[in-house]
A and B are shown apart, each in its own frame.
Chain A
Amino acid sequence: MQQRGYSTAGAVIEAPAEARTKPSLGVKIAKFRELGLLGFIILLSIGVQLRNPSFLTWENVNDMMTNTAILGILAVGMMLVIVTRGIDLSIGAILALSGMIAAQTVTAYPELPPMAALLLGTAVGLLCGTAVGWLVSKAGILPIIATLGMMNVFRGFTYVTSGGKWISAHQMPDSFKALATGTTLGINNLIFIAVLIYIAAYCFVNHTRTGRRIYAVGSNPESAAISGISTDKILWLVYAIMGSLSGMAGVLWVSKFASAQGDTASGYELSVIAACVLGGVSIAGGVGKISGVILGSILLGILNNALPLIDVSPFWQTGIQGSIILAAVLVNAVVKRGVDRNHLMRRKI
């Protein structure tokens, strides 16, 4: 299943000096993909700015960043899931459910500190994520099927708990709405939280054993089992983390938009997956960087913000987003082929 060309085909390999010094285009792109992405973001920003000077104003940038923050938080969790060769389609529903529960709680107990609502939402998300993780790791259900099924279940629960009603701005206490609009150290809370999560995730995936083992499991599950890594636990963990982040994002979402509905964030999982794929997270598993995911989220955020500014109809956004995802996936595949081909060329026959 995951045996790759170079580890099975055992021909003898001795690189002639001149072959080593000539990496193919694909290899070059692979090395500089993040720089490339950054370059693309800058070019895009300049282009939009030329068309509409209100793009790079402090206000708009701040607005854009707060909008991107939730996407970015979710993308971190999704990266971990995809690194283990999985996918999670249930996050939009988890987000809605925990957002709804948090909103109902603060409506009923207006004096509750917003922090408690945030924790409550995260706990709900954790619970949902644990359930998904169990299905994937212990029951052995394909991630796509398990999360597709649970997406319905969670979405159904959201409607059931709300009785089909909305919770709108005037029902929520101001302190709760201030969660998303307030600032910490002069930075918007959402951005602040996102940055904290990025730092924590960076340390987790790069500097802890468990973090690295997530990559090991995604890169080669059989080897991981031989090295004594518990694949099940790792899978369970990533879906639990994904769930917790979705739960937290749910509270932030409800606070930011000051409304909780049954169909909150419906289909949002696709944007999150898109951010990961744009950021270079490989669907085949084992590859993905926090820095890439940040850039991917920012690129999507800019697109969402900039398209209306340059008079692209909002109805075009879905199509444009989908095309960008497809292009990113296909380009990734082509680049990977270039790298593999380069390895083959190095073999002396």
Chain B
Amino acid sequence: MQPRMITNKLEFSFKRFFLQWEWMLVVLLLAVIVMNVNLSEYFWDYANLRDATMGFLDKAFIVLPMVFVILLADIDISVASIVALSSVIMADLYTMGVPMPLAMIICLAVGTLCGWVNGMLIVKFKELSSVIITLATMIIYRGIAYMILEDQAAGSFPDWFSFLGWGYVGSIPFILIAFILFAVLFGVLLHKTVFGRQLYAIGNNGTAARFSGVKVDRIKIIVFTLAGLMAAVTALFLTSRMGSTRPNVATGYELDVIAMVVLGGISTSGGKGRMIGAIIAVFLIGFLRYGLGLVNVQAQVLLIIIGLLLIFAVAVPQLKRAKLPAKKM
């Protein structure tokens, strides 16, 4: 048999390049911006754009690890409760006299711990889906937040703490800088490292990954722990923006976050999608929300729009494909 030449150069193809979901998102984002500009003459103004961005970026920190989680074909619906719990613990400790920097570190530690517990449970009880496990921990984490603060609010943080959510470096919001840093970090981790490659392998075919020597359990634990950690980061920024916290803070964030990830083209069946898509989706939904808010569309109508967007983003690729056998939830 003639040995065959196999090329390892990928030729650039316009068709492949432009047939990516991310372009669709870019078009949608432009449409939203055009709409907003038409709705309000003040929209296309640097200060205004900047403030709009600061308003929706807090939950975007969870989007980053949620991309990992959904790439693994798992889901984590406990993130909003982790935000609440770590925020409440931080506020409570501070009120009890713990220095603020230490309270912030503990906040991050609490989030990390919650995420690690999720990961451990999911790895040790493989027969249970991540839906049911994070559903249970979602209730528990929120429950603990209620045990600590009951129906009180806690706050009156030191003045410098508000810098996180409200401060600027030069004329750029600190929260935006932080988000860009984290986004680059997570993007590189996903697309340029062994860890990211193995994560995609697990999402596409967990068994084959395991047989190829990928430490599936360890990666899952790391990913869920990261989700917890980033939920705590969100807690820091959110608490800073609000100036105080309550046990019911961040309710419904998990839905927003999952909607952004799914809209960003990350398939719920795992292994497909890129970080950049989710990041565009963050701005898409953020500006959509902000723009509709400008013309006094009720928050409730937004619920409908986001719910429909979520279903639309999942349904379109699903309907395109031939009907597949029923999936476990």
Chain A interfacial positions (CB closer than 8 Å to B): 1-2, 85-87, 135, 139-146, 148-153, 155-160, 164, 217, 221-222, 225, 231, 235, 262, 270, 273-274, 277, 283-285, 313, 315-323, 325-326, 329-330, 333, 336-337
Contacts and interface: CB of A to CB of B under 8 A. Distances in A.
A158 B298 CA distance: 12
Contact of B329 (A142, A160, A221, A330): A142
B47 interface: no
A333 B138 CA distance: 19
Interface stretch (B2-10, B273-281, B315-323): B315-323
A316 B307 contact: no
Contacts of A321: 139, 143
30 contacts: A85-B326, A85-B328, A135-B311, A139-B315, A145-B258, A145-B310, A146-B314, A149-B307, A149-B314, A151-B307, A152-B303, A153-B304, A153-B308, A153-B311, A156-B302, A156-B307, A157-B304, A159-B298, A159-B300, A159-B303, A164-B300, A221-B325, A270-B139, A283-B128, A283-B132, A315-B147, A318-B143, A325-B139, A329-B128, A330-B121
A330 to B, nearest CB: 6
B48 interface: no
Contact of A333 (B127, B141, B258, B327): B127
B275 to A, nearest CB: 20
A158 B299 CA distance: 12
A203 B121 CA distance: 37
Given A141-B318, A149-B307, A329-B136, A1 B147 contact: no
A141 B303 contact: no
Contact of B301 (A143, A156, A323, A337): A156
Nearest to A323: B140
A315 B329 contact: no
A156 B300 contact: yes
B151 interface: yes
Nearest to B315: A139
Contacts of A270: 135, 138-139
Given A318-B139, A326-B137, A333-B127, A140 B318 contact: yes
Given A320-B143, A330-B125, A156 B304 contact: yes
B268 A142 contact: yes
Contacts of A86: 329
Interface of B is mostly: helix
Nearest to B129: A283
A87 B326 contact: no
A336 B121 CA distance: 16
A319 B132 contact: no
B150 to A, nearest CB: 4
A319 B144 contact: yes
Given A283-B129, A284-B127, 9 more contacts: A146-B314, A150-B311, A160-B304, A221-B325, A313-B147, A318-B142, A329-B128, A329-B132, A330-B128
B146 A315 contact: yes
Given A152-B306, A319-B140, A145 B298 contact: no
B75 to A, nearest CB: 6
A139 B321 CA distance: 10
A313 B147 CA distance: 8
A325 B307 contact: no
B262 interface: yes
Interface residues of B, number: 53
A159 B121 CA distance: 37
B319 A313 contact: no
B324 interface: yes
Interface in B270-293: none
B298 A164 contact: yes
Contacts of B319: 139-140
A87 B329 contact: yes
B317 to A, nearest CB: 10
Interface string B119-137: 0010001011101110111
Top 6 closest A-B pairs, CB basis? A319-B143, A322-B139, A152-B307, A159-B300, A156-B304, A318-B143
Contacts of A157: 304
A88 to B, nearest CB: 10
B140 A326 contact: yes
A322 B143 contact: yes
Contacts of A320: 143
Nearest to A340: B127
A231 B326 CA distance: 8
A235 B314 contact: no
B214 to A, nearest CB: 20
B109 interface: no
A333 B139 contact: no
A285 B125 CA distance: 16
Contacts of B269: 142
A87 B328 CA distance: 10
Given A149-B307, A150-B307, A333-B125, A87 B298 contact: no
Given A145-B262, A155-B303, A221-B325, A319 B147 contact: yes
A325 B269 CA distance: 26
A1 B310 contact: no
B304 A144 contact: no
A319 B327 CA distance: 31
A139 B298 contact: no
Nearest to B328: A85
B255 interface: yes
Nearest to B303: A156
Contacts of A262: 300
B300 A319 contact: no
A146 B327 CA distance: 13
Given A318-B142, A326-B136, A333 B326 contact: no
Interface in B207-237: none
Given A231-B326, A326-B137, A336-B127, A315 B150 contact: yes
A333 B147 CA distance: 28
